[in-house]
Structure 1
Amino acid sequence: MKKKIFFTIIGLIALVGVIGGIKALQIGQMVAQGKNFSPPPETVTTARAAAASWESLIPSVGSLEAVQGVMVTAELTGKVTRIAFAPGKKVKAGDLLVTQDTSSEEARLRAAEAAMALAKINFDRARGLLAQQAISKSEFDNADAQLKSAVAEADGIRTLIEKKTIRAPFSGRLGMRLVNLGQLLKEGTPIVTLQALDPIFVNFLLPQQEIARVRRGLTVRVKTDALPGETLEGRITAINPEVDSATRNIRIQATLDNPDERLRPGMFANVAVVMPDPKPVIVIPETAVLFAPYSDSVFIVEEQKSETDGKPALVLRQQFVRLGEKQGDFAAVVSGLEDGQTVVSTGVFKLRNGQSVVVDNTLSPEFKTAPKPENN
């Protein structure tokens, strides 16, 4: 019985040894296959880095401002007797807007004009008598002073009447009416806003390092959400002589034509100053760039001999680059890439350095400098 158990144990040990040997052989074969295994090449789309000449732009943000804009207010206290304008309408310089009650001033003016007429008669009489030496020079001077005083009194009353007859100081478009007929206006009471909208200013800021590049007369391009898809052009007309000590920015002002008055003061605008000399750049699709916090990179497609069969094959080489401006689907490469090199144009996030690839551009997207995607 003991011998039977002994031989059974020996048989089990032998069986386990045989199974272990078989598994060890299988694992060894799998390791050997893994060492010799090479993944199939990845299918990629490519684009060629091309030299181009791009216009240089200095971007900024700004706001629109009327060339002339004012809140028309009352200069003197008085009751409104006439409102001669309609809200939102265009007016010309000198057009009547509001008339205040001037009855008391008109009565005083009549008295002042009568006094002026009497002073003029006395002055003329005194001048004749002085020529005849019938009066003294002091009496003539007194008549002259009385005439001038009467004229000044009448002119002062006329000025009060003019100040209560409120007119448009310049041509422009009126805003909302802020007064009512019969309302008692005090000095400084707002009546209506008046804005000259054509042309219109756009004010924006640029960092101090751009001062040497910017000058009056340069073209600016303006885009605003109020006019989607449209780009307006203007000219730089003023540059502030001082730099803001807090932000180190300089204030720039450009003038735009606004014949349809679609641009209004207070609007936000994206501004780009166009430099006069185009800049040579190396251009690649922006989708070819693998963006990373430490540095951006691209995958260059190069031809190398295969290590297994010695035949030429396409292999990726990761190249770090420094990017510049962007236009549409393209990005400018400042350094790290040369004209004519081929880079992977899409799907770069799934690639690695040294990976073998095959090129298939049948499904490659069309890259444009001014893309207009359809609204699907």
Structure 2
Amino acid sequence: MLVCKRIFFFWLFSQIWTTPLLAQSTPSVIGHYAAITTWSDPLEALGTLSADESVTLSATVTDTIAEINFEDGEQVERGRLLIRLEDAEEQAQLRAAQALSDERRNALGRATQLQQRNLAPRADVEDSQARLRQSQADAQALEARLSNYRLHAPFSGRVGFRNVSIGTLVTPGMALVTLDKLDVMKLDFTVPDVFLGRLSAGLKLSAKTAAFPDEVFSGEISSIGTRIDPITRSVSVRADMVNPGLRLRPGMLMEVVVQQRIRNTLVLPEAAIEPSGNRHFVMLIDQQDGTPRLERREVVIGERRSGEVEVLDGISAGDLIVIHGLQLARDGQQVRLLGIADEETGIRSLLEADR
């Protein structure tokens, strides 16, 4: 009886310990196909935005505001009249100068007719011509002065706040309204001079701002500074960025990533790489005989970026690599392939489907 009990407990003990081992003998893994992807070495910097065109319109004469033709933040077209100062006196002087020009033009006509009949000397005609030119110049000078009483938009853009009212007395140099061209923005940033050889006009970049954390804005380098700062040993770089919806504003801080050394290379998720000292390995899934089996393969890696790593050698495009389940995976081991992760199918959805 005692022997039977010992046999039973031995059998029960062996079942408890061998069942998990059997379950673990065929681990479950998730694969991912190695693919050729466009890759670049990111160069990060902080930059500040400015408008493509920006101006503060101010008065050049002393007078009161007679007319305001814009609202706060309004988009205006080039040439639109924004502010008109009181110019009644100047208009009257212009009409007087134009009337004097008409009078002298008529006098020149009469003198010319008399001279043609030899009834007046040639000098009278020349004097009349000089007086006419003088009156016309006076009228043109008044027209030029009148232009100082009207502020037009020098380019299409968005005006700022209206801080003046009709009847306000303005003086020369007094700021009246700001105007910014926001459809294209300038992004200025600096990078260490050691990267100068990698920079060139036309390089693509991306930028993010805390105001729109879920959106990435794109642009390209338009020019590179001609001088190196001797204190910081950095060079200034300017990029042009399209501003969709006119949401970006001058003065915004941007996190810039310049895409340098753009190339097509083999890319894997970082989770697929097994580091071992200075060497790196991946688990290749071999399905030639219809049964998924692992093969440990050494690879040479290049640059890294968020969640991805560049593979220079060791595998080829189209190889199926383990990206989940590496903890229990061993070289030559048979595995159960739960699925293949890609842009449309994530690891979590494959694990949930296997429950």
Taking structure 1 as the reference length, the TM-score comes to: 0.63
Shift, 1:343, TM fit: 11
Instruction: Say yes or no: does 1:240 pair with 2:224.
Output: yes
Structure 2 runs not aligned, ≥5 long: 1-28, 284-297, 328-332, 349-355
Mapped partners of 2:85, 2:162: distance in 1: 15
Helix, strand or coil: the match of 1:228?
strand
Contact 1:55–1:275 (8 Å) recurs in 2? no
Contact 2:269–2:323 (8 Å) recurs in 1? no
Contact 1:283–1:333 (8 Å) recurs in 2? yes
User: In structure 2, what is the equivalent of residue 293 of structure 1?
Assistant: none
Helix, strand or coil: the match of 1:161?
helix
Instruction: Decide which of 154, 157, 174 is 1:169's aligned counterpart.
Output: 154
Mapped partners of 1:161, 1:301: distance in 2: 78
User: In structure 1, what is the equivalent of residue 239 of structure 2?
Assistant: 253
What is the letter of the counterpart of residue 308 of structure 2?
Answer: F
Mapped partners of 2:158, 2:118: distance in 1: 63
Higher RCO (CA-CA < 8 Å; seq separation 6+): 2
Mapped partners of 2:77, 2:37: distance in 1: 48
Contact 2:193–2:228 (8 Å) recurs in 1? no
Instruction: Decide which of 295, 308, 325 is 1:330's aligned counterpart.
Output: 308
Shift, 1:254, TM fit: 2.1
Shift, 1:191, TM fit: 0.7
Shift, 1:98, TM fit: 1.3
Shift, 1:161, TM fit: 1.7
What is the letter of the counterpart of residue 84 of structure 1?
Answer: N
User: In structure 2, what is the equivalent of residue 96 of structure 1?
Assistant: 81
Equivalent residues in 2 for 1:152-167, closer than 5 Å: 152-167=137-152
Give me the CA root mean square deviation.
4.6
User: In structure 1, what is the equivalent of residue 25 of structure 2?
Assistant: none
Highest Rg: 1 or 2? 1
Q: CA, structure 1 residues 209+136, in 2 after alignment: closer, same or farther (shift >3 Å)? A: farther
Mapped partners of 1:75, 1:93: distance in 2: 20
Shift, 1:232, TM fit: 2.5
Helix, strand or coil: the match of 1:230?
strand
Shift, 1:189, TM fit: 0.6
Contact 1:201–1:253 (8 Å) recurs in 2? yes
Mapped partners of 1:201, 1:82: distance in 2: 33
What is the letter of the counterpart of residue 235 of structure 2?
Answer: N
User: In structure 2, what is the equivalent of residue 132 of structure 1?
Assistant: 117
Instruction: Say yes or no: does 1:264 pair with 2:249.
Output: yes
Q: CA, structure 1 residues 282+169, in 2 after alignment: closer, same or farther (shift >3 Å)? A: closer
Q: What per-residue deviation string (whole Å, max 9, x for no partner) do you get for residues 222-262 of structure 1?
A: 322222222232333x2136133423414232231x24111
Mapped partners of 1:84, 1:54: distance in 2: 51
Shift, 1:208, TM fit: 3.9
User: In structure 1, what is the equivalent of residue 172 of structure 2?
Assistant: 187
Contact 1:207–1:250 (8 Å) recurs in 2? no
Taking structure 2 as the reference length, the TM-score comes to: 0.67
Identity of matched residues, %? 26
User: In structure 1, what is the equivalent of residue 43 of structure 2?
Assistant: 59
User: In structure 2, what is the equivalent of residue 20 of structure 1?
Assistant: none
What is the letter of the counterpart of residue 244 of structure 1?
Answer: I
Equivalent residues in 2 for 1:1-376, closer than 5 Å: 53-61=37-45, 62-236=47-221, 238-240=222-224, 242-246=226-230, 247-256=233-242, 258-275=243-260, 277-278=262-263, 280=265, 285=270, 324-326=303-305, 328-332=306-310
Q: What per-residue deviation string (whole Å, max 9, x for no partner) do you get for residues 18-68 of structure 1?
A: xxxxxxxxxxxxxxxxxxxxxxxxxxx9999x7965511442332222111
Contact 1:288–1:298 (8 Å) recurs in 2? no
Mapped partners of 1:301, 1:91: distance in 2: 59
Mapped partners of 1:47, 1:329: distance in 2: 16
Structure 1 runs not aligned, ≥5 long: 1-44, 291-295, 303-318, 349-358
Q: What per-residue deviation string (whole Å, max 9, x for no partner) do you get for residues 111-153 of structure 1?
A: 2122111111112222223323333333222211111111111
Q: CA, structure 1 residues 81+263, in 2 after alignment: closer, same or farther (shift >3 Å)? A: same
Q: CA, structure 1 residues 117+287, in 2 after alignment: closer, same or farther (shift >3 Å)? A: same
Mapped partners of 1:53, 1:344: distance in 2: 17
Q: What per-residue deviation string (whole Å, max 9, x for no partner) do you get for residues 185-233 of structure 1?
A: 1111111111111122323334444444444334322322222222232
Q: CA, structure 1 residues 86+282, in 2 after alignment: closer, same or farther (shift >3 Å)? A: closer
Higher-strand-fraction structure: 2
